[in-house]
Amino acid sequence: MTWWPEPPNWRPVTPTALSIAGSDPSGGAGIQADLKTFAAYRVYGAAVLTALTAQNTRGVRGVQIVPSAFIGAQLDAVLDDLAVHAIKTGMLADDASVRAVAERLARVPAIALVVDPVLVSTSGHALADASTVPALRDALLPLAHLVTPNLAEAEALLAAPVRSRADMQDAARALVALGARAALVKGGHLEGSAYDVLYANGRITELDAPRIAVDSTHGTGCTLSAAVAAGLARGEPLAAAVARAKRYVSRSLARALAVGKGLRPLDHSVDPDENG
């Protein structure tokens, strides 16, 4: 039998996702949660750090913002080398950080972009200053294939109350009117079931699921947006990626880990392809 070697420039296509976010040294949120999620989805994960935090499961003790020029240098290095299929943004602490990222992502409009507008930690610590919201609204939202705010983040972006399911649907439409291609408004802080709203292609899709009974947790928003980005990197249509991501977060939440003395991180090791 004759063995033919692979051509020297042959490479398998590996789905690749990039997270642009802050670091959580205790591993429950931010870059660490994103990379765990990418690994669960069997997607190659890259990361650009926007901030260092001193935090654990009990709260955030301090934040060190990475200079915007170095955020840009990291992003340039990744995009100059890797074939990235999807990107998610998380914590962007100030106007300069947002604009350094937006300037570069505007050059790669074909890469699917999920914008998670992280403003406050689960424990209540501010993760962005007053300049972040207008910068997100003006510079990054128009580049987003999907924006994924919770109720408070949607209120901040729109300067309007979002307190009910009807408000969530209106907010999703308004976020798309601001330039995002699609919006997923998360209703985790509403009473009742775990209700989210996706507005894409001119249509509202309601995603409702039983609420998982966990006393306290964090990292759900980071994980959801990372899971959507991972699905898009794998070539899933947006609606399918969102639905799978919601199931993945629910299963991860049901197995939340008691590893610290405070909030319980998700168990990111669950299989996102389980049960479809």
* Domain CATH code at residue 220: 3.40.1190.20
Q: Answer whether residue 149 shows pLDDT above 60.
A: yes
Q: Distances from the Cα of 130 to the Cαs of 120, 127, 134, 140, in angstroms?
A: 12, 10, 8, 16
With respect to residue 22, please indicate whether it lies within any of the assigned structural domains: yes
Distance CA 134, CA 87 (A): 21
Section 132-153 average pLDDT: 97
Whether pLDDT at 53 is above 90: yes
Bridge partners, residue 51, by sequence: 22, 65
Judged by average pLDDT, the poorest of 3-12, 79-88, 120-129, 138-147 is 3-12
Structural domain count of the chain: 1
The predicted model gives 48-59 an average pLDDT of 96
Mean pLDDT computed over 151-165: 95
Q: Among the options 16, 50, 220, 223, which is catalytic?
A: 220
Domain membership of residue 7 (yes or no) is no
pLDDT of amino acid 247: 97
Confirm whether 30 is a catalytic residue: no
Residue 210 DSSP class = P
What pLDDT score does 8 carry? 53
The pLDDT assigned to 190 comes to: 87
User: Is 88 labeled as catalytic in the residue annotation?
Assistant: no
Q: Is residue 213 over pLDDT 80? A: no
Neighbours of 210 (CB within 10 A): 10
| pLDDT of 153 over the 90 cut | yes
Residue of 22, 221, 231, 262 marked active site: 221
Once rounded to an integer, what is the mean pLDDT over residues 53-77?
96
The answer to whether residue 192 is domain-embedded is yes
Q: Is residue 270 part of a domain?
A: no
Task: Identify the active-site residue in 27, 187, 219, 231.
Answer: 219
Helices then strands, each counted (H, E), the chain: 8, 11
pLDDT band at 10 (very low <50, low <70, confident <90, very high): low
> Is residue 252 assigned to a domain?
yes
188 assigned to active site: no
Based on the residue annotation, tell me whether 186 is a catalytic residue of this protein: yes
Is 219 assigned a catalytic role?
A: yes
The residue annotated as part of the active site, out of 16, 37, 57, 217, is 217
Query: Is 80 exceeded by the pLDDT of residue 4?
Result: no
Q: How far is CA 26 from the centre of its chain?
A: 18
- Whether 220 is catalytic is yes
pLDDT at 274: 86
How many Å separate Cα 274 from the centre of its chain?
21
- Domain span including residue 79: 16-265
% of residues, the chain, pLDDT over 70? 95
Distance of CA 260 to the CA centre of its chain: 24
Q: Is residue 219 part of a domain?
A: yes
Q: Chain-wide mean pLDDT for the chain?
A: 93
pTM: 0.94
- pLDDT at residue 11, as a whole number: 63
pLDDT at 30: 97
Q: Is residue 121 part of a domain?
A: yes
Q: Let me know if residue 5 belongs to a domain.
A: no
Mean pLDDT of 181-201: 93
Task: Identify which of 71, 89, 113, 72 has the alpha carbon closest to the alpha carbon of residue 34.
Answer: 89
Q: Regarding beta strands 16-23 and 182-186, do their DSSP bridges make them parallel or antiparallel, or are they unpaired?
A: unpaired
Give the C-alpha distances (Å, rounded to integers) separating 272 from 40, 86, 232. 7, 17, 13
Q: Are 37 and 227 in contact (CB under 8 A)?
A: yes
- Residue 155 pLDDT > 50, yes or no? yes
| pLDDT recorded at residue 214 | 76
261 exposure class (CB count in 10 Å sphere: 0-12, 13-18, 19+)? exposed
